[in-house]
């Protein structure tokens, strides 16, 4: 077939299994949009801002495990994708971004809406391409999807000049996919015998072992292997923020989330362990605190697909560069069947102390807590919803008070900490999982960064439920100001719109909640509507998320909620 570059591009996307794209048209990408009419099997979702498109593709990818696709025009359209690309890069999410570019003859002339997109996005993509002929498109597209989804996943950008999209070339269906030509791109597989034996020896001798489970568990499909390893060797499991869901949080060996706002028992266990087994995590600073005092008495095993992460932040005794699922399958047959009753008893003591500090058990105030909202949402949805959050206090409350039992059901921006991520990513997640209940749990600050996507949700009638935890503050920044800046609340109080009237303007049903007794009715109302719904929860302005490890401090040196009758 003799097809235009735009038609070849769409033919290739179909053969890569793409069903939905999130984008915004413009002059340099218009030939591709014009060709979409010939391919009704490709669903296109019109966003209201290109950043929303990249977050939707990201949410789609996280929820489905497949590559998400976003599309934009040249210049400002392409640069508006950058925040979403950086978000996906930091969290190892496979998306493919397609951007239009000015015609080949105009490149380098500062033409209207020209930007060096490959140069701009080089630091925030796993790879990118500038396509200079229509004949290249099949190879580029197939390579892009392979790179985005293999090894350590990540975003890939394809920049296509406008005249390449109109140029004709031969496309042979029977020749797709073309043979990959990536001699410098090798994805590691399993561990060597020496590495396996070294790791097993450390596990056999450990008396206080601990597993640190990260996002890589889900990325590699190693959820079952993690459970087998933990149960067989009797090793408790802690989770990173993005690792939530890697192991059911009601499992007796699962201790919950570690780190800056993690469970105190997790952090104490890390500091007291004699062996850390880090699986698919990168020892981020929000997890480790002060590196000089991090888990000082432990030997360390690190299994990671990206060799650059091993020994980058934390020096380890055994570093295994390989696919996590493959390595864990190699490890399990050699594991000893053990239990660690004394170690688990110590952990239970820490957990009991934490439960005595739990605000939900002793709060008697009249104001509504964000913790109450999230915990009631968990109870009323039977813990089965996909929750998608922005970044801030509400994100940490979601991580603490909504236990997840399944993988890929808590979606959030971890590494980059992107405000505005939650709502558009929830739309993408709903397209990926149309039969799942999806809640965007967002703060009043982050929500306003991408609230224009209310129009997208309305136009597509996407049944995403939006829970806004409104405290009229940039809550997490305000908390830092309270603790470390003598309560100087500079530029954190917010004058917000009436979110219910805002929803009404978009034709979206809404409800406002000011008391805990109203939560159940509001959630029932949201679930009854076949379409988007917005619930505004007016929560206390000065709620604090405990515990908190001050930035750069020792992991065990947490600011903790006082017990009843105990002074701070």
Residue 75, phi-psi category: left (phi > 0), alpha (psi -120 to 50), beta (remainder):
left
Q: Catalytic positions, please?
A: 50, 112-113, 162, 476
CB count within 10 Å of CB 228 equals 16
Q: Residue 406 is encoded by which pair of tokens? A: 């399944």
3-state secondary structure of 76: helix
- Cα torsion through 299, 305, 310, 312, rounded to 10: -140
Supply angle C-alpha 340, 343, 349, rounded to 5.
135
Cα–Cα distances (Å) from 298 to 209, 249, 282, 304, in that order, read 9, 25, 17, 19
CA distance 491 to 196: 53
Residues forming beta bridges with residue 466, ordered by sequence position: 440, 534
The 8-class DSSP code of residue 319 comes to E
CA distance 168 to 535: 50
Task: Give just the sign of the alpha carbon dihedral 426, 427, 430, 432.
Answer: negative
* Both structure tokens of 489: 């609340």
136's tokens: 């290249």
Cα 301 from Cα 320, distance rounded (Å): 8
**Number of CB atoms found within 10 A of residue 83's CB:** 21
- Would you say 400 and 257 are in contact if contact means Cβ atoms under 8 Å apart? yes
Give the SS3 label for residue 162.
helix
DSSP 8-state code for residue 494: -
Distance CA 314, CA 283 (A): 7
Residue 402 neighbours by CB distance under 10 Å: 24
535/538 Cα distance (integer angstroms): 10
DSSP SS3 for 462: coil
Rounded to an integer, what distance in angstroms lies between the CA atom of residue 242 and that of residue 287?
Answer: 11
Give the span between the Cα atoms of 332 and 185, in whole angstroms. 29
């Amino acid at each position: 077939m003799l097809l235009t570059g735009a038609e070849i591009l769409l033919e290739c996307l179909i053969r890569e299994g793409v069903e939905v794209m999130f984008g915004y048209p413009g002059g340099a990408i218009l030939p591709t949009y014009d060709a979409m009419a010939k391919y009704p099997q490709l669903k296109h979702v019109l966003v209201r801002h290109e950043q929303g498109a990249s977050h939707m593709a990201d949410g789609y990818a996280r929820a489905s495990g497949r590559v998400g696709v976003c599309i934009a025009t040249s210049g400002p359209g392409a640069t508006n994708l950058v925040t979403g690309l950086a978000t996906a890069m930091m969290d190892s999410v496979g998306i493919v971004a397609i951007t239009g570019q000015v015609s080949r003859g105009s490149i380098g002339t500062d033409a209207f809406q020209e930007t060096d997109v490959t140069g701009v996005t080089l630091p925030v993509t796993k790879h990118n391409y500038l396509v200079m002929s229509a004949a290249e498109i099949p190879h580029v597209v197939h390579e892009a999807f392979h790179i985005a989804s293999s090894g350590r996943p990540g975003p890939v950008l394809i920049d296509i000049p406008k005249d390449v999209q109109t140029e004709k070339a031969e496309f042979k269906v029977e020749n797709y996919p073309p043979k990959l030509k990536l001699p410098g791109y090798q994805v590691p597989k399993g561990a060597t015998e020496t590495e396996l034996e070294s790791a097993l020896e450390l596990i056999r001798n450990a008396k206080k072992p601990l597993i640190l489970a990260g996002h890589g568990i889900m990325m590699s499909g190693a959820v079952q292997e993690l459970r087998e390893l933990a149960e067989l060797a009797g090793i408790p499991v802690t989770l990173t923020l993005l690792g939530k869901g890697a192991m059911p949080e009601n499992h007796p060996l699962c201790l919950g989330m570690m780190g800056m706002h993690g469970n105190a028992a997790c952090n104490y266990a890390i500091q007291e362990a004699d062996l850390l087994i880090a699986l698919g995590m990168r020892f981020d600073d929000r997890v480790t605190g002060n590196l000089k005092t991090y888990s000082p008495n432990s030997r360390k095993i690190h299994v990671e697909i990206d060799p650059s992460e091993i020994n980058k932040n934390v020096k380890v005794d055994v570093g295994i560069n390989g696919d996590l699922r493959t390595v864990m399958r190699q490890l399990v047959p050699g594991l000893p069947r053990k239990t660690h009753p004394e170690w688990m008893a110590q952990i239970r003591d820490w957990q009991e102390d934490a439960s005595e500090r739990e605000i939900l058990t002793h709060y008697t105030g009249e104001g509504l807590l964000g913790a109450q909202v999230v915990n009631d949402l968990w109870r009323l949805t039977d813990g089965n919803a996909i929750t998608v959050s922005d970044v801030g206090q509400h994100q940490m409350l979601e991580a603490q008070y909504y236990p997840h039992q399944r993988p890929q059901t808590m979606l959030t921006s971890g590494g980059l900490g992107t405000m505005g991520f939650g709502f558009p990513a929830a739309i993408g997640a709903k397209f990926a999982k149309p039969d799942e209940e999806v809640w965007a749990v967002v703060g009043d600050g982050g929500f306003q960064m991408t609230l224009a996507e209310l129009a997208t949700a309305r136009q597509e009638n996407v049944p995403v439920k939006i829970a806004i935890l409104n405290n009229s503050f940039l809550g997490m920044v305000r908390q830092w100001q309270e603790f470390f800046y003598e309560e100087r609340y500079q530029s954190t109080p917010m004058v917000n719109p009436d979110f219910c009237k805002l929803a009404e303007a978009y034709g979206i049903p809404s409800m406002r909640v000011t008391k805990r007794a109203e939560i159940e009715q509001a959630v029932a109302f949201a679930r009854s509507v076949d379409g988007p719904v917005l619930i505004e929860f007016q929560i206390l302005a000065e709620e604090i998320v405990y515990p908190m490890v001050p930035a750069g401090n020792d992991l065990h040196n947490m600011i903790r909620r006082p017990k009843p009758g105990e002074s701070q």
